[in-house]
């Protein structure tokens, strides 16, 4: 009787809608998130191409684009308001709707139960609800391009007064309201996901899967989810107050004496800096919400291709904790030029430089994992190595920006743009792409094309450096960010033309992603059939059938006897020992 | 071989020692310990059911939400245009009503007899509290104090509104437990849901006391 019951539940729902659309299966939801993120990345990437077109050749006319964007590019020349909407939405879509959705919600949902030996998430229904809350958020964000005045134009940071005064710029109208609404739905969805992740990691591990036997990706998910749960609510509070400043006549963020359209606004006494503090109290932990899982993917991608354990597992875990704690008290380094007390600035600078210690430990652990490796340069390995390179490059730039003395010079220049693109743009992008190449066989039962993958990697890697390393030098030259043209500035004349080079490299970067898209969909139908464990890896997801059925494990949940990085154990029959191999076969070291 | 930094600290053991978790509500349920729908062995999870852990995490996010509001409040209070609001006297009555509601729920939970009547009483007082808060808004409006009048009134309306929304959520949860109690009088499921509801309800009550302190005593 009991056996019959369990067989029945393993089969899962049979109707198309319950199985693929309103599914509560973590694998379906994970893939839904990944595909949604891919769609949003395409939009965000297209916006970036338009931005680069404008910056590279600000005086050219593009009659063709005038037909596509009759308002934003009337007469073929980009409208400055449209440029502001482009940078705002590029940042918003990429940070929240591409990287967060793909790395945390996408890979997180797909891999978490598989890697810890659970049948599903702790709250499957909440999981479905979370996905179907983010879908309207995506629709609202995209729809905001088509309302009167266009999309929000106050930057992804939504600083008041631009975001609070409806008549400030065209995008401050309905577009900004929709932006706040979309973000509210996103935060609600992300909170549901975070509750689910933390509960699942703490409570749903299979027998033998102690915390210190978790793959590092799961550790990064845990820390990132906790950070998200703690950091997003204050932004929600700030967004509620902003909404009332916009529509309720309150003055939380609006000072007196604001003058718009030949009329003094009725607000008084509010503080735009208050918003900045509340925003960056989320904003800074948020970058760790993004980069920690990216590092987790890199940490988990290396061992199968180096055929040796990851270096410094415990120290990495402790460093993740340290980063998590420190990331909550360093938000002020985004505001060094806001006129803060120099002693407060010093506090934030010291905290920020303190974060470089655990970050460097993780970086060095990644590099040390390569020592003595039998490196197999398959596509996922290339992407993992590339993300280490980006982490190093971006991290070095971060030291200059975390230090108030040098930040005051570099603030709001292209140095900042270059830096954060390496970190939350580059490390995360390579991790998402590498993770896709790596887990694609498990998700869809087919391999992605290796040759196309390598071409994709090298084009992406080189073009990314060409774009964003060059921007660091523009920043040294004092080129400010957010300007839609630099033609009028005499002091920028010597470096202005580098923008054309950057734009060409950006187009190469964008085009390279089309190779990935082609590879993805071609391999979905035509790729070589994948074995159950094509990379000969040790973690639990490779023990499951390919693709894993509903309930993941068939009749019995696997039991775990060892940590996830038992590669090249002396005396073992093979150079990898999956976590499920009992101690009677291969000795357990940890 | 002992390596540097090779200190054995197992996080789950640290949690397991903190028996604090299990003081609330029911002990870990049987189907939790058995690990979902195939069961058979113990999982190395916390001695807390999923729903309870999820609730605690959720209360953590609500706490951070109101911490965000509080920090905004403190910053804005230092502004030049801050004018203290006259406290609507009905707030004291409302506070009493909400505290009494928590007491009823707790007493009812301990005596399983006439459980439904106690929950009904607690829920009714919750609704009464919400009406009381609306009356407080009306009092202020009658005095000509609206949302944008001054920063203190803005915060008063927004904080009581946000808190009221959370109370409303609690009322809905209590009603759902009540419906469950009607069908399956004193079953295990009712008790488990009721204990989760009670944690939330006391939290919302405590939150109100905190907001009262921030709004009028700080």
pLDDT band at B217 (very low <50, low <70, confident <90, very high): confident
Reported pTM: 0.91
- Neighboring chain A residues of B4 at a CB cutoff of 8 Å: none
Q: Shortest CB distance from A211 goes to which of B11, B76, B79?
A: B11
pLDDT band at B116 (very low <50, low <70, confident <90, very high): confident
> Kind of pairing, strands A259-260 and A263-264?
antiparallel
Q: Does A287 or B111 have the greater pLDDT score?
A: A287
Distance from CA of B202 to the nearest CA of A (A): 20
Instruction: Read off the pLDDT of residues A325-366 as tens digits, 9 standing for 90 and up.
Output: 999 999 999 999 998 999 999 999 999 999 999 999 999 999
For chain B, say whether A319 makes contact (Cβ under 8 Å).
Answer: no
For chain A, say whether B64 makes contact (Cβ under 8 Å).
Answer: yes
Q: How many residues does chain A have?
A: 590
Q: Which residue ranges make up each domain of chain B?
A: 1-48, 50-217
User: pLDDT below 70 — which residues of chain A?
Assistant: 1-11
Inter-chain touch B60–A229, beta carbons under 8 Å = yes
CB atoms within 10 A of CB B25: 21
- Neighboring chain A residues of B165 at a CB cutoff of 8 Å: none
Q: How many residues does chain B have?
A: 218
CA A265, A270, A271, A272 torsion-angle sign: negative
Chain B interface test: which of A113, A236, A252, A320 (most B C-beta within 10 Å): A252
Q: Does domain A1-214 have CATH number 1.20.210.10?
A: yes
The confidence score (pLDDT) of residue A590 equals: 79
For chain A, say whether B54 makes contact (Cβ under 8 Å).
Answer: yes
The confidence score (pLDDT) of residue B28 equals: 40
DSSP A64-115: HHHHHSTTTTGGGS--HHHHHHHHHHHHHIIIIIIIIIIIIIIIHHHHHHHH
Q: Give A 191-220 residues with CB within 8 A of chain B.
A: 191, 194-196, 198-199, 202-212
Instruction: Read off the pLDDT of residues A390-410 as tens digits, 9 standing for 90 and up.
Output: 999 999 999 999 999 999 999
Q: Which residue ranges make up each domain of chain A?
A: 1-214, 537-590
For chain B, say whether A321 makes contact (Cβ under 8 Å).
Answer: no
Q: Is A179:A256 a contact under the CB 8 Å cutoff?
A: no
Distance from CA of A204 to the nearest CA of B (A): 6
Joined together, the tokens standing for residue A151 give 């999309």
The confidence score (pLDDT) of residue A386 equals: 97
For chain B, say whether A370 makes contact (Cβ under 8 Å).
Answer: no
The confidence score (pLDDT) of residue B40 equals: 46
Number of A:B CB contacts under 8 A?
A: 163
Pick from A152, A134, A147, A144: nearest CA to A246: A152
Q: Shortest CB distance from A207 goes to which of B10, B43, B69?
A: B43
Distance from CA of B114 to the nearest CA of A (A): 32
C-alpha–C-alpha distance, residues A252 and A358, integer Å: 37
The confidence score (pLDDT) of residue A380 equals: 97
* Cα B161 off chain centre by: 15
* Chain B nearest-CA residue for A197: B54
Mention every residue, 6+ apart, whose C-beta is less than 8 A from residue B43: A203, A204, A205, A206, A207, B33, B35
Q: Shortest CB distance from A252 goes to which of B45, B72, B82?
A: B72
Burial of A571 per CB tally in 10 Å (0-12, 13-18, 19+)? exposed
CB atoms within 10 A of CB B86: 11
Q: Is A170:A208 a contact under the CB 8 Å cutoff?
A: no
Joined together, the tokens standing for residue B51 give 């729903």
Distance from CA of B13 to the nearest CA of A (A): 10
The confidence score (pLDDT) of residue B104 equals: 95
State the CATH class of domain B50-217.
mainly alpha
């Amino acid at each position: 009787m009991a056996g019959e019951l369990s067989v029945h539940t393993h089969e899962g729902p049979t109707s198309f809608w319950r199985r693929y659309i309103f599914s509560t299966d973590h694998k379906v939801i994970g893939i839904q998130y990944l595909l949604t993120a891919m769609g949003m990345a395409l939009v965000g990437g297209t916006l970036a191409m338009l931005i680069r077109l404008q910056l590279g050749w600000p005086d050219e006319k593009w009659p063709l684009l005038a037909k596509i964007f009759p308002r934003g590019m009337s007469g073929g020349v980009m409208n400055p308001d449209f440029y502001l909407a482009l940078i705002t939405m590029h940042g918003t879509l990429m940070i929240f709707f591409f990287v967060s959705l793909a790395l945390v919600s996408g890979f997180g949902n797909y891999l978490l139960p598989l890697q810890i030996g659970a049948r599903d998430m702790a709250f499957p229904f909440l999981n479905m609800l979370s996905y179907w809350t983010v879908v309207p958020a995506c629709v609202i964000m995209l729809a905001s391009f088509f309302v009167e005045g266009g999309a929000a134009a106050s930057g992804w940071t939504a600083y008041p007064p631009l975001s609070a005064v409806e008549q400030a710029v065209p995008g401050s109208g309905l577009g900004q309201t929709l932006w706040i609404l979309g973000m509210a739905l996103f935060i609600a969805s992300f909170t549901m996901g975070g509750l689910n992740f933390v509960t699942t990691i703490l409570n749903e591990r299979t027998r033998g899967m102690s915390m210190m036997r978790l793959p590092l990706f799961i550790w990064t998910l845990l820390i990132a989810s906790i950070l998200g749960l703690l950091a997003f609510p204050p932004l929600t509070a700030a967004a509620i107050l902003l909404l009332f400043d916009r529509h309720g006549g309150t003055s939380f963020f609006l000072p007196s004496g604001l003058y718009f359209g030949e009329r003094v606004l009725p607000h008084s006494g509010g503080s735009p800096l208050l918003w900045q503090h509340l925003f960056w109290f989320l904003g800074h932990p948020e970058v760790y919400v993004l980069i920690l899982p990216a590092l987790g993917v890199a940490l988990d991608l290396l061992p199968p291709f180096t055929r040796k354990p990851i270096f410094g597992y415990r120290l990495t875990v402790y460093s993740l904790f340290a980063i998590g704690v420190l990331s909550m008290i360093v938000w002020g380094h985004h505001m060094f030029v806001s006129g803060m007390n120099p002693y407060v600035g010093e506090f934030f600078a010291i905290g920020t430089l303190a974060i470089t210690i655990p970050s460097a430990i993780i970086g060095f652990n990644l590099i040390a994992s390569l020592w003595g490796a039998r490196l197999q340069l398959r596509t996922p390995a290339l992407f993992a190595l590339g993300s280490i390179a980006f982490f190093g490059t971006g991290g070095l730039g971060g030291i200059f920006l975390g230090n108030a003395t040098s930040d005051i010079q570099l603030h709001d220049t292209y140095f900042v743009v270059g830096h954060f693109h390496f970190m939350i743009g580059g490390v995360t992008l390579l991790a998402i792409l590498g993770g896709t190449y790596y887990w694609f066989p498990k998700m869809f039962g087919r391999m992605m094309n290796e040759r196309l993958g390598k071409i994709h990697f090298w084009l992406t890697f080189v073009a990314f450096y060409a774009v964003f390393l060059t921007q660091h030098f523009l920043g040294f030259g004092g080129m400010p960010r957010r300007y839609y043209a630099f033609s009028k500035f005499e002091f920028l004349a010597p470096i202005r033309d580098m923008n054309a080079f950057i734009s060409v490299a950006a187009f190469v970067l964008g085009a390279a992603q089309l190779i990935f898209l082609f590879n993805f969909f071609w391999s979905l139908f035509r790729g070589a059939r994948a074995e159950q464990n094509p990379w000969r890896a040790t973690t639990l997801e490779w023990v499951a059938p390919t693709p894993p059925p509903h309930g993941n494990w068939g009749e019995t949940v696997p039991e775990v006897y060892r940590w996830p990085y038992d590669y090249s154990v002396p005396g073992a029959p093979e150079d990898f020992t999956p976590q499920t191999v009992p101690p009677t076969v291969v000795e357990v070291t940890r | 071989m002992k390596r540097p930094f090779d200190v054995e600290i197992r996080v789950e053991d640290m949690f397991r020692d903190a028996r604090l978790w299990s003081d609330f509500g029911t002990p870990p349920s049987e189907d939790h310990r058995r690990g979902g729908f195939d069961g058979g062995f113990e999982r190395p999870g916390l001695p807390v059911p999923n729903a309870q852990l999820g609730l605690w995490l959720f209360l953590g996010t609500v706490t951070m939400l109101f911490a965000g509001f509080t920090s905004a409040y403190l910053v804005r209070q230092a502004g030049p245009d801050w004018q203290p609001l006259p406290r609507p006297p009905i707030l004291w009555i409302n506070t009493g009503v909400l505290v009494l509601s928590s007491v009823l729920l707790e007493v009812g939970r301990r005596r399983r007899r006439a459980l439904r009547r106690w929950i009904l009483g607690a829920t009714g007082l919750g609704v009464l509290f919400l009406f009381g808060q609306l009356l407080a808004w009306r009092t202020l409006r009658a005095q000509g104090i609206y949302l944008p009048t001054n920063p203190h009134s803005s915060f008063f309306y927004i904080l009581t509104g946000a808190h009221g929304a959370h109370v409303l959520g609690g009322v809905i949860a209590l009603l759902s437990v009540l419906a469950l109690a009607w069908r399956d009088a004193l079953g295990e499921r009712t008790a488990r849901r009721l204990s989760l509801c009670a944690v939330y309800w006391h939290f919302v009550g405590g939150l109100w006391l905190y907001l009262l302190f921030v709004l009028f005593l700080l």
